[in-house]
């Protein structure tokens, strides 16, 4: 067989078995063969020499946010940003009160001519109509993951345009998800009633630092909601996914519950592996969940290593830095993050002995593919999409936000030096990023329908 492309002489990081030398042959956008290393010369129109480098399945960021940058051009900027980080697939959240039929058609129309990498959507649920239409979202749009904010009670969600709900809504949401089947409910776990009291007390006392923001949202408020989320899910037999888990206390509750009910998946984000409430960055570090203690950071690394945490994702929000440079209580939450996930996990994880390469491949490829029903992604196997990320584990590079392509103009890691960077991103057989340059066409990315 004459192949389109062969990636030769690299060390392939298989999520199932770990690193091994192999050549990967690509034809018609699919992985066509896995060959003995160094034995593929002359079998393809193009050979990519991966000598001295590691070849991962295309990375998947299961948690980014669309709609916080320029609502149309972000499908260009944020998929360029993803490709710069070695990501071939992103899953973006929409936060809307309105029915999602019109939202889906509008956003798909914006995305298809602009996206450089493949993409899928999550829908946030906030109204009775969302529950009534959920089955049609799965059937008609290929969206089978739905977010619910346990903290959006009263007016808390108004800044995102979402109605406040209560536990009866959560109860019905999980009941409906279980009835439909093959649906994952993404639950932001936070006891907002406790947070509101602590926040008011802190503000009344004139406290205004990043540490004060973090202390107003203590780990208990995350862990207590994790317990309730799991209890509700168990009652209905629903599958849940806990995003951006940030504390040792919440992680320990998940470990306890999995002994009696295991249909729960856990994600953490790079910022909770690198920053604490004492980080010296002021309101730029404002996030929800907030940064926590060094003990929490250490516990999350341990949870990644032992499999208690399934996925690392960014919670990427491409706002400008100006939205952060305000007093702590008024500053916007979150920050850009997709492009620096792999350098964090290689530099702070692999090179410091915290994570194996196989484990990094699992949390960035096979686990998000399995959890979110990305059937052609997440592994290097004949017949799957030829999504590949080639990384240079020895490359040292200083993070400079302006080199990464996001609409956002800063990075949490500006000025940090990491060892280990992506050098090439391939999406369905097409190279979209090579040596820091975007070389693939806009519009190459396709929408990924799931759950059908």
Give which of 315, 310, 372, 365 is closest to 142, Cα–Cα.
372
Q: What is the pLDDT of residues 181-238, one digit of tens each?
A: 999 999 999 999 999 999 999 999 999 999 999 999 999 999 999 999 999 999 999 9
pLDDT, position 70: 87
Mean predicted confidence (pLDDT) in 320-332: 96
**Within a 10 A sphere around the Cβ of 358, how many other Cβ atoms?**
15
The CA distance from 64 to 85, in Å, is 13
Residues 131-168 pLDDT 10s? 999 999 999 999 999 999 999 876 666 666 667 788 99
**Under 8 Å between Cβ of 301 and 259:** no
- pLDDT for 153: 79
Span 225-284, pLDDT tens digits: 999 999 999 999 999 999 999 999 999 999 999 999 999 999 999 999 999 999 999 999
Per-residue pLDDT at 160: 64
> Is the domain covering 58-371 a CATH 3.20.20.140 domain?
yes
Task: Return the C-alpha torsion angle 185, 91, 19, 303, nearest 10.
Answer: -40
Domains of the chain by residue range = 3-54+385-438, 58-371
**Residue 404: its pLDDT value, please?**
96
Predicted pLDDT of residue 4: 97
What pLDDT does residue 43 have? Answer: 87
pLDDT given for residue 446 in this prediction: 98
Q: Three-state secondary structure along 35-102?
A: ECCCCCCCCEEEEEECCCCEEEECEEEEEEECCCCCCCCHHHHHHHHHHHCCEEEEEEEECCCCCHHH
Write the DSSP string, 310-342: -EE---B----GGGTSS-TTTSPP----GGGHH
Give the pLDDT confidence score for residue 402 in this predicted structure. Answer: 96
Q: For the residues 85-92, what does the mean pLDDT come to?
A: 98
Pairing of strands 437-438, 388-398: unpaired
Q: Given this model, what pLDDT does residue 159 score?
A: 66
Task: Provide the 8-state DSSP code for 207.
Answer: -
Is a pLDDT exceeding 70 seen at residue 317? yes
Residue 10 pLDDT > 90, yes or no? yes
**pLDDT grade, residue 86 (50/70/90)?**
very high
pTM for the structure as a whole: 0.97
The count of C-alpha atoms lying within 13 angstroms of the C-alpha of 70, restricted to the half-sphere facing its C-beta, is 13
State percent of the chain over pLDDT 70.
98
The pLDDT of 402-430, averaged and rounded, is: 97
Question: Which residues are registered as beta bridge partners of 264?
Answer: 240
The pLDDT tens digits for 422-452 are 999 999 999 999 999 999 999 999 999 998 7
Return the bridge partners of 6, or none.
25, 47
Share of the chain above pLDDT 90, in %: 92
Compute CA 277 distance to the chain's CA centroid, rounded to the nearest angstrom.
22
What topology is assigned to 3-54+385-438 in CATH? Urease, subunit C; domain 1 (2.30.40)
d(CA 74, CA 407): 7
What's residue 157's pLDDT?
62
> What integer pLDDT is reported at residue 237 of this predicted model?
98
């Amino acid at each position: 067989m004459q192949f389109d492309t062969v990636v030769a002489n690299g060390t392939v990081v298989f999520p199932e078995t770990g690193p091994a030398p192999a050549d990967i042959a690509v034809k018609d956008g699919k992985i066509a063969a896995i060959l003995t290393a160094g034995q593929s010369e002359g079998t393809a129109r193009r050979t990519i020499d991966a000598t001295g480098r590691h070849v991962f399945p295309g990375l998947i960021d299961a948690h980014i946010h669309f709609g916080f940058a320029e609502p149309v051009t972000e499908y260009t900027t944020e998929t360029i940003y993803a490709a710069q980080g070695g990501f071939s697939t992103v899953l973006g959240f929409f936060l809307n009160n309105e029915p999602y039929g019109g939202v889906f058609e509008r956003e798909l129309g914006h995305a298809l001519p602009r996206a450089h990498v493949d993409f899928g959507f999550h829908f946030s649920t906030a109204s009775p109509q969302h529950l009534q239409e959920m089955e049609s979202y799965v059937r008609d749009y290929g969206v089978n993951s739905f977010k619910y904010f346990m903290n959006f009670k009263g007016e808390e969600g108004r800044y995102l345009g979402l109605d406040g709900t209560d536990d009866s809504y959560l109860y019905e949401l999980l009941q409906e998800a279980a009835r439909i089947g093959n649906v994952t409910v993404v639950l932001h776990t936070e006891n907002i009633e406790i947070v509101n009291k602590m926040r008011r007390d802190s503000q009344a006392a004139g406290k205004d630092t990043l540490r004060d923001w973090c202390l107003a949202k203590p780990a208990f408020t995350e862990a207590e909601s994790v317990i309730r989320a799991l209890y509700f899910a168990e009652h209905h037999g629903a599958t849940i996914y806990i995003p951006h888990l940030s504390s040792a206390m919440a992680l320990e509750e998940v470990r306890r519950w999995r002994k009696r009910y295991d249909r729960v998946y856990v994600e953490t984000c790079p910022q909770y592996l690198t920053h604490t409430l004492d980080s010296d960055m002021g309101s730029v570090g404002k996030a929800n969940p907030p940064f926590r203690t060094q003990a929490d950071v250490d516990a999350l690394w341990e949870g990644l290593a032992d499999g208690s945490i399934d996925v690392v994702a960014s919670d990427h929000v491409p706002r400008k830095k100006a939205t952060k440079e305000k007093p702590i209580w008024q500053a916007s939450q979150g920050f850009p993050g997709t492009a620096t996930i792999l350098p964090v996990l290689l530099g702070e994880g692999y090179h410091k002995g915290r994570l194996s390469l196989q484990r990094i491949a699992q949390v960035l490829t096979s686990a998000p593919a399995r959890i979110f029903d990305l059937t052609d992604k997440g592994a290097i196997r004949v017949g799957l999409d030829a999504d590949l990320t080639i990384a240079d584990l020895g490359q040292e590079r200083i993070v400079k936000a302006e080199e990464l392509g996001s609409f956002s103009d800063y990075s949490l890691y500006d000025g940090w030096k990491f060892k280990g960077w992506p050098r090439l991103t391939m999406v369905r057989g097409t190279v979209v990023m090579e040596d820091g340059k975007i070389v693939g066409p806009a519009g190459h990315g396709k929408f990924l329908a799931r759950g059908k």
